[in-house]
C-alpha cells in the first residue's frame, strides 16, 4: 500500500543512505515499494539494524532479502511536545516499534497512521504503508504502519 | 576475595559543585565552570589543586584534561580518561576509571568532573536541524523520533505493559525528588514543590512521561577528588570508601534501530550483579540510593534490575512514603537529583551519595553506611557504584 498524504508535516531531515553504503539497499527498496532487509548468507538469519558482520556467525557475506511488510506492534509512544520547528503545529503523533515475524523478529520504527488518539495496543497486527516523497530533495520513501485489519 | 577489585582501595577526599543554573543562564563559559567546580572540590578536600594528577570524565565532556591540567598549573598529568557513551551512563563509570587509576598506581589524585553550559553549546532536549540524516538516526528521526524522551519512552511503555505498572509508580519517583529538593538550597527547584495534582495535571511530553517525569536541563559543573584509601584519614571529612564501581550493558544492548534483544530494560541486568559482587553487599544492605533520572521510567527499571523489588512489586514498592528520607524503605535521590536539584549529567548523584556517608545531606538518612548510585539507565554503557563508611570495610 502507498500513503496518499504524508503522516507528519514537512520539514524534518530527509533520510539518505549511510556514507559507507551500509544501508543503501534498504532505502533503494523502499523507493520501489519493497521492504528489503539485511540477511546473512552464512546462517540465513535476518539482522537489523544493518552491520558489516553477522552478529550470530561472524560471516561477512551479508545479503539482502525482501520480506513482507506485516508485523506486530511491539511498543509505541504518543508524542505531544514538539522538539523541532517543523512539528510546532503537528499536534500529537504516534511512533511505533514493529516486530517482523517473517524476518526473524527484527524490529523497525515508523509512524502509526490514522487518528493519533486511536488506542495503542501492544500485540496488534500491523501492515506497512509506503509513504513516497518523490519531490523531496533528495527523494525518499518512509515506511509507515496501520493496524490491520483496520 | 580476588585482588581484582576496587573494594576499599580508593577514598573520596572532597566534592563540590558550582552554583546550578537553569539552562543557558550561566554567566560563565563551560570551561570556567569546570575550573570552578574542580577548585572548590580541592578546597573541600584540603588538597592543593597543583597535586591533582589525573582527570576523568564522560559523555564527551568538552573540558579537555590536558588544558585543565595546564590551566590549574598541575605539577604533572598522570591520567586522562573519557568514558565512552552519552547521557549520564558514564557518571559512575568515570568514578570507576579514576578509581582504577588510583588503585593500580597510575595516578595519585584524580578528579572526576562534568561541566555543561547549554547556552554556549546548545540544548539536549531539541531535535537536530539538519536537512538530511544518515546512519542509524535515518531510521528514526524522519518519523519524529529525535529526542532522548523519544529514545526511551517505548522501552518504558513496553515494560509497564509487560508488568502491569501504573503511572503512580513513575509519579512517586518525581514526588520524592521534588520533596527532597525543598530541603536543598542548591536545588534549582528549591521553593517549587510538587504534589500529586500538579503532576497529574501537567502536560504530556511523550506518554508515559509527564513534564515532571523528565530531567531538567541545566548549566553548571560538579567535581569529586579521589585518592588512595591509605590517605582516607588525611582529609577533613570522615572516610568515604569506594566499595565497587562497574559499567557496561547486557548482550547487544547497542543493537541499532531499537533491536536490542532485552528491549524493556535499563541495561543493568549484567552490570548490577557485578557491582554487588565487587562491593560484597546486596540490595538489602543499601541505606540510600541515588538513581539517575533522565526519565522516571528508567529509575523504575534500574531499581528492579538492582534487586530492590521485582517487576511485579513495582506498584507497591515505588510509593512516595517508601522513597523519602529519612523514614522510607529506600530513600531515593535525596538531593532532588536530575529532576529537581540539577541536571549535571548525574555527577551530582555521586556527590550526594558521598554526602550521605559524610552525614552532610540536606535529607540525611540517619546512620547511612552504604550509599549507592546508578547512572544513566537505558543507554549503553550504563554504570553504577557503591560508597561505604569506615565500618563497611
Tell me which residue of B16, B19, B95, B91 sits closest to B55, measured CA to CA.
B95
Burial (CB count <10 Å: 0-12, 13-18, 19+), residue B391: exposed
- pLDDT value of position A149: 81
Residue A122 forms part of a structural domain: yes
> Which strand (E) or helix (H) includes residue B137?
none
Strand duo B54-58 + B21-22: pairing: unpaired
**Triad B348, B352, B357: Cα angle to 5°:** 150
Q: What share of chain A is helix, strand, coil (3-state, %, to 5)?
A: 10, 40, 50
* DSSP letters for B47-91: --GGG--EEEEETT-SS-HHHHHHHTT-S---EEEEE-SSTTTTH
Q: Which residues of A touch B124 (CB under 8 A)?
A: none
Contact call for A8 and B145, based on CB within 8 A: no
pLDDT confidence tier of residue A150, bands split at 50, 70 and 90: low
Task: For chain A, give the mean pLDDT.
Answer: 97
Average pLDDT over residues A120-129: 98
| Active-site position among B20, B21, B292, B320 | B292
CA-based nearest distance A25→chain B, Å: 13
Q: Which residues contact B197 (CB under 8 A, 6 or more apart)?
A: none
**What's the domain range around A84?**
24-147
Residue A2 forms part of a structural domain: no
Task: For chain B, give the mean pLDDT.
Answer: 97
Average pLDDT over residues A91-111: 98
ipTM, two decimals, is 0.98
In three-state secondary structure terms, A113 is coil
- pLDDT value of position B388: 98
- pLDDT value of position B121: 80
Segment 237-296 of chain B within 8 Å of chain A by CB: 252, 255-259, 263-264
Residue A63 forms part of a structural domain: yes
Give how many domains chain A has, as a whole number.
1
- Report percent pLDDT > 90 for chain A: 96
In the numeric block, which cell numbers belong to residue B234? 588525611
Span B108-137, pLDDT tens digits: 999 999 999 987 887 777 788 899 999 999
The values of phi and psi at residue A118, to 5°, are -60, 155
Other CB atoms within 10 A of residue A73 CB: 19
- pLDDT value of position B311: 98
Sketch out chain B's domains with CATH numbers.
10-122+214-392 (3.40.47.10)
Q: Which residues of A touch B123 (CB under 8 A)?
A: none
Residue A5 forms part of a structural domain: no
pLDDT confidence tier of residue B1, bands split at 50, 70 and 90: low
Residue A75 forms part of a structural domain: yes
- pLDDT value of position A2: 85
Average pLDDT over residues B151-173: 98
> Which strand (E) or helix (H) includes residue B140?
none
> Which strand (E) or helix (H) includes residue B16?
strand B10-17
Q: Which residues of A touch B127 (CB under 8 A)?
A: 12, 83-84
Burial (CB count <10 Å: 0-12, 13-18, 19+), residue A116: middle
Q: Tell me, yes or no, if A49 comes closer than 8 A to chain B by beta carbon.
A: yes
Residue A1 forms part of a structural domain: no
Contact call for B138 and A95, based on CB within 8 A: no
The answer to whether A13 and B130 have CB atoms below 8 angstroms apart is yes
- Residue ranges in chain B assigned as alpha helix (H): 30-45, 65-71, 91-103, 118-121, 148-163, 167-181, 196-201, 271-279, 296-305, 314-317, 320-323, 337-340, 347-358
Amino acid at each position: 500500500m502507498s500513503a496518499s498524504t504524508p503522516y507528519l508535516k514537512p520539514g524534518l531531515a530527509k533520510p539518505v543512505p549511510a556514507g559507507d553504503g551500509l544501508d543503501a539497499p534498504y532505502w533503494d527498496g523502499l523507493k520501489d515499494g519493497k521492504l528489503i532487509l539485511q540477511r546473512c548468507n552464512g546462517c540465513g538469519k535476518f539482522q537489523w539494524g544493518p552491520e558489516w558482520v553477522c552478529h550470530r556467525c561472524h560471516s561477512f557475506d551479508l545479503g539482502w532479502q525482501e520480506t513482507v511488510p506485516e508485523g506486530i506492534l511491539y511498543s509505541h509512544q504518543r508524542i505531544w511536545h514538539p522538539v523541532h520547528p517543523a512539528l510546532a503545529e503537528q499536534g500529537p503523533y504516534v511512533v511505533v516499534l514493529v516486530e517482523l515475524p517473517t524476518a526473524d523478529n527484527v524490529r523497525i520504527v515508523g509512524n502509526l497512521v490514522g487518528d493519533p488518539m486511536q488506542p495503542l495496543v501492544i500485540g496488534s497486527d500491523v501492515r506497512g504503508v509506503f509513504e513516497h516523497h518523490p519531490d523531496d530533495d533528495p527523494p525518499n520513501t518512509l515506511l509507515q504502519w496501520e493496524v490491520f485489519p483496520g | 576475595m580476588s585482588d581484582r577489585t576496587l573494594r576499599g582501595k580508593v577514598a573520596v577526599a572532597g566534592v563540590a559543585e558550582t552554583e546550578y543554573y537553569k539552562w543557558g543562564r550561566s554567566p560563565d563559559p563551560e570551561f570556567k565552570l569546570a575550573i570552578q567546580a574542580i577548585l572548590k572540590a580541592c578546597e573541600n578536600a584540603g588538597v592543593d589543586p597543583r597535586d591533582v594528577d589525573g582527570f576523568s570524565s564522560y559523555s564527551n565532556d568538552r573540558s579537555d584534561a590536558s588544558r585543565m591540567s595546564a590551566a590549574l598549573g598541575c605539577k604533572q598529568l598522570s591520567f586522562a580518561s573519557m568514558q565512552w557513551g552519552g547521557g549520564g551512563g558514564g557518571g559512575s563509570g568515570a568514578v570507576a576509571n579514576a578509581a582504577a587509576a588510583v588503585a593500580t598506581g597510575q595516578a595519585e589524585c584524580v578528579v572526576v568532573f562534568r561541566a555543561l553550559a547549554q547556552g554556549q553549546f546548545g540544548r539536549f532536549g531539541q531535535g537536530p536541524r539538519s536537512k538530511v540524516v544518515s546512519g542509524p538516526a535515518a531510521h528514526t528521526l524522519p518519523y519524529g523520533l529525535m529526542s532522548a524522551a523519544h529514545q526511551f519512552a517505548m522501552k518504558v511503555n513496553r515494560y509497564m505493559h509487560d508488568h502491569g505498572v501504573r503511572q503512580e509508580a513513575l509519579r512517586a519517583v518525581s514526588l520524592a525528588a521534588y520533596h527532597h529538593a525543598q530541603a536543598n538550597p542548591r536545588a534549582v527547584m528549591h521553593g517549587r514543590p510538587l504534589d500529586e495534582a500538579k503532576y497529574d495535571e501537567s502536560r504530556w511530553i511523550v506518554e508515559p512521561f509527564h513534564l515532571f517525569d523528565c530531567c531538567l536541563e541545566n548549566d553548571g559543573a560538579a567535581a569529586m577528588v579521589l585518592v588512595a584509601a591509605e590517605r582516607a584519614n588525611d582529609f577533613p571529612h570522615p572516610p568515604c570508601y569506594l566499595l565497587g564501581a562497574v559499567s557496561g550493558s547486557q548482550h547487544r544492548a547497542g543493537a541499532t534501530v531499537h533491536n536490542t534483544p532485552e528491549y524493556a530494560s535499563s541495561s543493568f541486568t549484567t552490570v548490577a550483579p557485578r557491582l554487588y559482587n565487587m562491593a560484597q553487599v546486596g540490595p538489602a544492605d543499601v541505606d540510600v540510593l541515588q538513581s539517575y533520572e533522565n526519565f522516571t521510567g528508567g529509575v523504575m527499571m534500574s531499581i528492579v534490575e538492582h534487586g530492590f523489588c521485582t517487576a511485579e512489586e513495582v506498584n507497591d514498592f515505588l510509593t512516595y512514603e517508601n522513597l523519602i528520607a529519612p523514614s522510607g524503605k529506600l530513600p531515593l535521590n535525596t538531593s532532588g537529583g536530575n529532576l529537581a536539584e540539577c541536571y549535571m549529567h548525574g555527577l551530582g548523584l555521586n556527590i550526594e551519595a558521598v554526602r550521605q556517608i559524610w552525614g552532610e545531606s540536606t535529607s540525611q538518612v540517619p546512620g547511612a553506611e552504604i550509599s549507592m548510585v546508578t547512572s544513566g539507565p537505558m543507554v549503553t554503557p550504563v554504570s553504577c557504584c557503591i560508597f561505604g563508611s569506615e565500618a563497611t570495610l
